[in-house]
């Protein structure tokens, strides 16, 4: 919150910055004028300006609060500290008093700003929770409707049991996947790393299973998926978790790649890690969105569906393995996601890329 900008959402409705700063100046002058009419002010010079500091910080933000702190300190020195009508201070005790007042005023301003930040974060989390609950309710309603319809049709035609059971199985798996995503997101929100059970895995098998999971959607839209992996490439990972991570990235690529597009999966050994690249021919991601793409509930902008947990959880999975994930994208030129996985020869998950700038979660 540098430069005195509002620290919570409701402050966006306040007047422009120049008006807020101007109001802080006017408020300080008004409080000083009123205090000058108070005979007791000379006996309590360090109390008379507090309304200006608190009011400016509460209604204007950090910057106006700091301006009021500076001006009120100067007003106390000018009007009530000997010699009056001068910014010179004759006694050491008064210098100490002014310094302490200024420090306390700044601290109070910062505390008010932190209070507003906490309130804003609470409101943001509440809105986010309400949003995701609405999305989850919608996403769960679809498979539940599918199960209900399959049950009804099965009662009408018991001979159709195998096909209806297959429909029910797919619907329950979808519900289970959504519930597990919510549990994983809850852990990551509380800074609890996801649990992984490491073992040597054949990368081609993991990627092949992930590709198979998105092939029906890709085929329906004539999207071609090309896999180019060196033979015998093995990684040290939790196979189920890594399948989830790569599947999320492939599912996202299929979701945003236009019909007749192309998705490529490549891998290369990179010292103690294996780097996996997943590229698509989609519309790309705007630079402003790239900084938020791994945040919770990011869903690709307006018109996108889903709870927006996939990339958030994917990053948590990769970090739990000691790897890192990043992307390169340009609007109109597709996107490439990069992730690193420990190579099978490595028996311990070492922190990787800690000194490299990473996209943060807000």
Other C-beta atoms closer than 10 Å to the C-beta of 310 total 22
Per-residue confidence (pLDDT) for residue 65, from 0 to 100: 92
CB 19 within 8 A of CB 74: no
Q: Give the tens place of pLDDT for each residue, 54-83.
A: 999 998 889 999 999 999 999 998 888 888
pLDDT tens string 132-175: 666 667 667 777 787 888 888 888 888 888 888 888 887 887 78
What is the CATH code for 199-342?
3.30.565.10
* Model confidence at 41: pLDDT above 80: no
The token pair that represents 38 in the structure block: 């108070």
Per-residue pLDDT averaged across 190-203, rounded? Answer: 90
CA Rg, the chain, in Å?
30
Reply yes or no on whether the pLDDT at 116 is more than 50. yes
- Average pLDDT of the segment spanning 329-342: 93
Instruction: Please check whether residue 102 is in contact with residue 71, taking contact to mean a CB–CB distance below 8 angstroms.
Output: no
Check whether 323 has a pLDDT greater than 90: yes
Whole-prediction pTM: 0.59
- How far apart are alpha carbons 279 and 232 in whole angstroms? 22
């Amino acid at each position: 919150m540098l430069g005195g900008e509002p620290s919570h959402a409701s402050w966006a409705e306040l007047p422009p910055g120049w008006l807020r700063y101007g109001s802080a100046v006017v408020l300080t002058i008004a409080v000083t004028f009123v205090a000058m009419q108070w005979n007791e002010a000379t006996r309590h010079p360090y109390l008379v300006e507090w309304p200006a500091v608190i009011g400016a910080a509460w209604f204007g933000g950090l910057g106006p609060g700091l301006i009021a702190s500076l001006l009120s300190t100067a007003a106390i020195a000018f009007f009530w500290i000997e010699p009056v009508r001068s910014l010179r201070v004759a006694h050491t005790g008064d210098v100490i008093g002014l310094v302490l007042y200024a420090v306390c005023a700044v601290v109070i301003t910062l505390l008010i700003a932190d209070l507003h930040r906490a309130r804003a974060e609470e409101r943001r989390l509440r809105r986010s929770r309400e949003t995701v609950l609405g999305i989850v309710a919608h996403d769960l309603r679809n498979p539940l409707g599918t199960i209900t319809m399959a049950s009804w049709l099965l009662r009408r035609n018991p001979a159709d049991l195998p096909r209806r059971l297959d429909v029910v199985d797919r619907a329950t798996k979808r519900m289970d996947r959504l519930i597990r995503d919510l549990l994983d997101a809850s852990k990551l929100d509380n800074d609890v790393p996801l649990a992984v059970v490491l073992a040597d895995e054949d990368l081609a098998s993991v990627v092949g299973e992930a590709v198979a999971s998105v092939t029906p959607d890709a085929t329906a839209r004539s999207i071609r998926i090309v896999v180019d992996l060196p033979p015998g490439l093995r990684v040290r990972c939790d196979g189920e978790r890594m399948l989830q991570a790569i599947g999320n990235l492939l599912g996202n690529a299929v979701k945003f790649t236009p019909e007749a597009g192309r998705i490529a999966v490549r891998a290369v050994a990179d010292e103690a890690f294996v780097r996996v690249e997943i590229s698509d021919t989609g519309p790309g991601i705007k630079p402003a969105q790239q900084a938020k793409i791994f945040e919770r509930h990011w869903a690709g902008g307006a018109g996108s569906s889903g709870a927006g947990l996939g990339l958030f959880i994917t990053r948590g999975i990769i970090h739990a393995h000691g790897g890192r994930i990043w992307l390169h994208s340009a609007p109109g030129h597709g996107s490439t996601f990069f992730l690193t996985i420990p190579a099978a020869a490595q028996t311990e998950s070492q922190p990787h890329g800690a000194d490299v700038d990473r996209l943060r979660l807000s």
